[in-house]
Amino acid sequence: MKKLITSLLIGVSALSGFARQGGMTHEWSGMINTGQHMNTSSITSDENGNIFLGTWNVKGNADLDLAATSNAVNFGTTNGSTVISYASDKSFRWAKSFTSESRISNVTIGQNGEVIVTGGFQGSLVSDGTTLLTGTAGKWNGFVVKLDKDGKYLDGIAFNSGNAAWIFGAEVDATSGDIYVTGYSTGTLDLDVKGANTSTITSTTNDGFTVKYNSSLEYQWASKNIGSGDIQNRTIAQDANYIFVGGNHKTGSLAVSKVGATTTDFNTEFSV
C-alpha cells in the first residue's frame, strides 16, 4: 500500500546537451524556429539516452529537426503541441504532433519505452489528420495519451467535465506499469473514463485530483482535493512507498478525500 502525500502552495524553444563525466561539459545546442512562437513544457530521457521534448504550445511552421535535414510541421495559426524525440547526439528520431488546439504539460517514459503524454485540448485532439480523442468544443479537456517507443499512437483517454479539465503530471510504476496522473477540473468529471463504473468529482471552482490507472488506462482509484478556494494539482512523483503531489491553493480551507468505494489501496497524508 502506498501513501498519497499532497502538498499545495498558497499563492522560441532551445535545447542543449551536456556531458557530466568528469564535470559538466557542453556538447551541443539546437533551436526550433517556428516564425511565431513555441514553448517547451517538459523534457525527459530514456535508459538509452534518447531525449523526449513536449511543448506547451507551438504555432506557425516548425522545423523540428535540429540538424540540416528538414522535418517540418505547419501548425498555421492554431496553437497546437508536439512530442519530439531526439537521440543523445541531437539527431531527429520522430515527432508526434497534435495540430488541433492543444497543450502538452508532461512527457514521461513508461514500460517498454512507451511514452506517456498529458495535457489539455479543445474540441478534438487531432494528429496526422486523424481525431484521436473528443471533448467539449470551446472548453479545455484533459488527456492522457500513450505512444510506443517509435511515436506511434497506442491508446488515450479524454477528461471531459463540460467546463474545464486539465491533466498536468504523470508517473509510471516501473514494475507494474501503473500510471498515476494528477490535474484539476471545474464541473462534473468522470475519472473512470473506460469503465462502466461512475467515479465522478463535481466542483464549481477548480478542484485538484489524483488518479491511478493500470497500464491499459483502466481506472483503479482516485483522490480529490476539496477546498473553498481554487485548487490546482500540477506535479506528481513517487518512490517505493509514497506518491507525492504538488500544486497551488489560492485561499480557504483544504482537505483530501477518496473518490468512490474502490479507493481502498492507499492512505492519505497532507501537508501545506
CB 111 within 8 A of CB 148: no
C-alpha cell at 54: 513536449
| Mean pLDDT on 209-228 | 88
| Mean pLDDT on 100-109 | 97
Better-predicted residue by pLDDT, 11 or 175:
175
How far apart, in whole angstroms, are the C-alpha atoms of residue 25 and residue 267?
Answer: 44
* Helices (runs of H) and strands (runs of E) counted in the chain: 0, 23
Q: Which of 61-65, 174-178, 256-260, 266-270 has the weakest average pLDDT?
A: 266-270
Q: Which of 62-71, 113-122, 226-235, 263-272 has the weakest average pLDDT?
A: 263-272
DSSP 120-173: EEESEEEETTEEEEE--TTSEEEEEEEE-TTS-EEEEEEE--SSEEEEEEEEE-
Q: Could you tell me what percent of the chain has a pLDDT over 70? A: 82
Average pLDDT, the chain: 85
Q: Could you tell me what percent of the chain has a pLDDT over 90? A: 55
Examine the pLDDT at 261 and tell me if it is beyond 60. Answer: no
Query: What pLDDT does 19 receive?
Result: 54
DSSP 27-83: EEEEEE--SSEEEEEEEEE-TT--EEEEEEEEESEEE--SSSS--EEE-TTS-BEEE
Residues 137/143/120/56 CA torsion (nearest 10 deg): -150
pTM: 0.87
Examine the pLDDT at 22 and tell me if it is beyond 60. Answer: no
Cα Rg, the chain, nearest whole Å: 19
Better-predicted residue by pLDDT, 18 or 230:
230
CB 265 within 8 A of CB 259: no
Strands 2-10 and 242-249: parallel
Examine the pLDDT at 132 and tell me if it is beyond 90. Answer: yes
